[in-house]
């Protein structure tokens, strides 16, 4: 089975943003953001909205 495409990782690469920058935006630790980027765990809906606002 194919893994779902990780949109967070693609946007970070496209905008040339580091995971540490993103970890500071929603107030989560680098470990949590890294887990989301690597598809080990999915962020909650609330965190997804915060991430989306951070990219704008």
pLDDT digit string, tens, across residues 16-54: 989 898 888 767 789 988 998 888 888 888 888 888 888
Q: Which two tokens stand for residue 37?
A: 């980027």
43 falls within a domain: yes
24 falls within a domain: yes
Residue 4 contacts residue 41 (beta carbons within 8 Å): no
Residue 18 contacts residue 12 (beta carbons within 8 Å): yes
Domain count, the chain: 1
47 falls within a domain: yes
Q: What is the largest CA-CA distance in the chain?
A: 33
1 falls within a domain: no
pTM (predicted TM-score): 0.71
**Residues 4-24, mean pLDDT to the nearest whole number:** 85
Q: Where in the chain does DSSP place strands (E)?
A: none
Range of the domain at 37: 15-55
Q: Give the H/E segment covering residue 7.
A: helix 7-15
């Amino acid at each position: 089975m194919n893994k779902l495409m990780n949109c967070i990782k693609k946007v970070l690469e496209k905008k040339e943003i580091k995971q540490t920058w993103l970890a500071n935006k929603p107030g989560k630790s680098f470990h949590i953001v890294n887990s989301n980027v690597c598809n080990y765990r999915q962020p909650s809906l609330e965190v997804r909205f915060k991430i989306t606002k951070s990219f704008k």
